[in-house]
A and B are shown apart, each in its own frame.
Chain A
Amino acid sequence: MKSLIQKLTETFSPSGYEQDIRNVIRAEIEPLVDEIRVDPLGTLIARKGKVGKNGKRIMLAGHMDEIGLIATHIDENGFIRFSAIGGVYPHTLLGGRVRFVNGVSGVIGGERITDLGKTLTISQLFIDVGASNPKDCPIKTGDVAAFVRPFFDMGDRMVAKSMDDRIGCLVMIEALRSLKSSPHEIYFAFTTQEEVGLRGATASAFGIDPEIGLSLDVTGTGDTPKSRKMEVSLGKGPAIKIKDGGMLSDPRVVQWMIRTAEKSKIPYQREVLEAGTTDATAIQLTRSGVPVGCISIPCRYIHSPSEMVDTKDVQNAIKLLTALLSALISL
C-alpha cells in the first residue's frame, strides 16, 4: 500500500492538468473494473458491477488534482511570476521547490523582506528555473507546476505533498481491490479540478446520475498545538463527516455509515469541519438531488507541502468503505 501512496503523491498533476495522475490510477484499476471512461473535463470514471436486487447506483468521488501554481509572466530577467491554483498559502512557499508539468524544475524565491513580522504575498514571490530572459526560459505564461516533496514513511504516520487527495484516491483503489462482492453498481470517479471549485465532480455527477454519493477526502485535525478547535484527531479512525463549510451530509447516510462501522468494529470519529469542503457538496446538487456523505481521512498540515496522515486511519478507511459497499443499503 505504501509504495502506491508514494507513486500517487509523487506525481505532478495540479488542477486542470491531471493527465499524469490519471494514467497512474488507470493502470492500477483497469484490470479490476468492468468499464472505464474519461469524461469531457478529464475525470476518470470506472464502473464495477451492475445494480443487483435492491442494489443502488453509487458514486464514489476522490479528487486526483492537487493545488499548484500557474505562471503569469516571465520577466525581463527570466524570473517567473505566478498565481495560485486552488488554496495555496503564501507562507508555505518561500524556499520551496516546484516541478512544472512539462518537466522543468525550479525554486521559489521572494523579493526582499523588509519586515520579518509580515509574510510575503504571492505577488512578491517568483520561481527561478535558471533562465536569464524570457526567450531562453522553458516556461511560458499559463504553464502549471506542483510542489516537489518526496513521500516520507514514518511507520505509524506518512507524510507527503498532495495527501489531499491522493490518499482518498488510494482508499478507493484499495477498497476496489479488496471488494469481494457487492449488490451495487459502483462508479469510482477520480475527479478533476476539485481544488478550484469542485468542477470535475459537478460535471461527472451529472453524467453518472447516482442514487447515493460518497466523497473520499482529507479533513483537518484539532490535535496540534494551538490549532483551530476540532475534535478529529490522527489515529482515532476515519471520520464520518456530518457537516463542513459547504454542505450537511444526509443524516440517513451518516447513520448508515455509523451503523456499518460499529457492526464491523471499525474505529471512527464524528466530524464537523468549519472551513473547507469536498466533492460531495457538488454531487448532492445533481439533477433531482443525491443523498451524500463523506469518509474523511484525518490529516495534519493540509495544503502545505508536508501533509501527514495516520497509517491505521487509512487502513480503517479502506475497511469502512469496503464494508459499506459490500452490503445492501437501507437509508
Chain B
Amino acid sequence: MAKTFSLNKKQINLLEKLSQAMAISGNEGEVRSIVLEEIRPYIKDYQVDSLGNLLVTKTGSSKNRLKVMLAAHMDEAGFMIAADDGDGIFRFEISGGIDLRQLPGKSVLVGKEHIPGVIGARPIHLTTSSDRQNKIPLNNLRIDIGPGANTIKPGDQAVFATTFQHVGPSLIGKALDDRLGIAVLINLIKNSPPNIDLQAAFTVQEETGLRGARVAAFTFKPDLAFVVDSTPAKDLPAWDESENLTYNTRLGAGPAIYTADGSTLSDPRLIRLLVQTAEKARIPYQLRQPGGGGTDAGAIHKQAGGIPSVSVSIPGRYAHTPVGLARVSDFLHTIDLLKATLLSIHPEILAQERS
C-alpha cells in the first residue's frame, strides 16, 4: 500500500499519454495503440473485435479458477465534426454527454493530426445582458480552425485541448473518465494474480450506450465482472452552506464502490467482498451514492444468462469538462483494492445465491 501518494516518472508519463490521447466513441484507436504498447510484453495474445474492443486473457495457474472480467472504457466525451461551413468553420455534434455551458471559449484538437481549433462565442460587446442569461445552443456553436486549406471533414473527431498536469496531490487533465480506469487495468494486467483467469476488456463506446462492453461480455462469458470507471465527485460547498446531500463521492475518500446506479444493481456478494477486503487491508473506500449514471456493468451483467457484476470508480471532479481533477491517493488505492480483491476470489463466492 502506498503511504506516500506519489507516482514515479513512468506512471506519470503513461497517465499523461492516456489523458492527452484522442478517442471519442467509435474512434478509440489512439488509446488502443497506447494500451497495446504498454501491455504487449505481459501478454501472450490479444484480440480486437469488430467494434474495436481490445480483449486480453491472462490465464492463472492455480486449480479451480473463476473467469473474472475487468472492464475499463477507452472512449471519452468529445465532439464529432458534422458539417463544413467553409472558411475553417465547422458545425459539430457532441459525443457522449457534455454540458453546453462548458463549451464556449474553449480550445480543441481536431482529427488524426490533432489540428488545434477553438469554440468561439459572440463578443460580449455585441450581446445584451439578457442574451448572456441564456446558454448558447449547440446550433450556434462552431469549431474554428482558421481559414485556408485544411484536411478536416465531417466525421472527424475532436476533443478538449487540455494538457495533463500532476499538481501536488492531484491529477488534472481531460478524459480522466476513464483513462484513470484504463491505467488501473493496465497495472492489473502487469500484476495479474494466479488464482483467476483475468479477462481484461478495454472497451469502446461506453459513453454512447455501453455498447462495447455488451459484446465483450458475450465473447468472454465470465463468471463475474468488475468495472473500473471514474465517477463524479460533486463535493463542492453548497451555495447556502447547507449540508451537501448529493455529493455522489468525495475526493480523497478512496475508491468508490457502487451499490446501485442507473444501469446496475451491484451484486451484493461482490459489494461485500470489496468492503471486507478493504477493511482487512486497511484501504480507505467509500460507497458511491445510489442514483443515476451508469458504467459498463450495466451492459455486462445482463449478458449471456447473467453475470454478477460490480463497479469501482476513482472519484473525479468536473467530469466531461475540459478539466477533470482526481487525487493520486484515490488512484493508487483503487489499484490496491482491486489487486487485493482479485487475490481473494475463489469459487466459494458464487456458491451461495445472490443475496
Contact = CB atoms under 8 A, between A and B. Distances in A.
B65 interface: no
The main secondary structure of chain B at its interface with chain A is: loop
A185 B176 CA distance: 51
Contacts of A196: 265
Contact of A204 (B259, B268, B306): B306
B259 A142 contact: yes
A15 interface: yes
Contact of B290 (A17, A142, A193): A142
A107 interface: no
Interface stretch (B14-22, B150-158, B297-305): B297-305
B354 A40 contact: yes
B241 interface: no
A70 B266 CA distance: 13
Contacts of A140: 287
A145 to B, nearest CB: 12
A192 B265 CA distance: 11
Interface string B273-302: 000000000000001011100000000011
B298 to A, nearest CB: 9
Interface string B229-260: 00000000000000101110000000000011
A19 B266 CA distance: 14
Nearest to A73: B245
B287 A193 contact: no
Contacts of A192: 354
Contacts of A75: 243, 245
A95 interface: no
A141 interface: yes
A179 interface: no
Residue of B243, B245, B354, B355 contacting most chain A CB atoms (<10 Å): B354
A100 to B, nearest CB: 13
A86 B259 CA distance: 15
Interface string B325-355: 0000000000000000000000000100111
B271 interface: yes
Contacts of B246: 72-73, 123
B245 A85 contact: no
A73 B308 CA distance: 25
B31 interface: no
A133 B268 CA distance: 25
A196 B247 CA distance: 23
Interface string B78-117: 0000000000000000000000000000000000000000
A315 to B, nearest CB: 32
Given A16-B265, A19-B353, A202 B287 contact: no
A105 interface: no
Contacts of A141: 259, 287, 289-290
B249 to A, nearest CB: 11
A142 B266 CA distance: 10
Contacts of A193: 265
B307 interface: yes
A83 B262 CA distance: 11
B243 A206 contact: no
Interface string A65-102: 00000111101100001010100000000000000000
Given A41-B354, A76-B243, A142 B291 contact: no
Given A76-B243, A85-B260, A40 B291 contact: no
A141 B291 CA distance: 11
A157 interface: no
Contact of A42 (B260, B302, B303, B355): B355
Contacts of B306: 39-41, 43, 200, 203-204, 206-207
Contact of A40 (B243, B247, B266, B305): B305
A200 B301 CA distance: 10
Interface string A179-211: 000000000000011001001101110110000
Contact of B289 (A19, A73, A203): A73
B43 to A, nearest CB: 27
A22 interface: yes
Given A70-B259, A196-B265, A142 B304 contact: no
A287 to B, nearest CB: 11
Residue of B260, B268, B289, B306 contacting most chain A CB atoms (<10 Å): B306
Contacts of B355: 17, 19, 42
A72 B307 contact: no
Residue of B246, B266, B305, B308 contacting most chain A CB atoms (<10 Å): B305
A16 B291 CA distance: 14
Given A38-B353, A75-B243, A83 B290 contact: yes
Nearest to A200: B306
B302 A202 contact: yes
B243 to A, nearest CB: 6
Contacts of B301: 41, 199, 203
Given A38-B354, A40-B307, 10 more contacts: A41-B306, A42-B353, A70-B290, A71-B290, A72-B245, A72-B291, A123-B246, A203-B307, A204-B305, A207-B306
11 contacts: A16-B266, A40-B308, A70-B260, A73-B246, A73-B289, A81-B245, A83-B290, A83-B291, A141-B289, A199-B302, A206-B306
The 3 closest A-B pairs by CB, nearest first: A16-B265, A142-B259, A203-B306
Interface of A: 15-17, 19, 22, 38-43, 70-73, 75-76, 81, 83, 85, 123, 140-142, 192-193, 196, 199-200, 202-204, 206-207
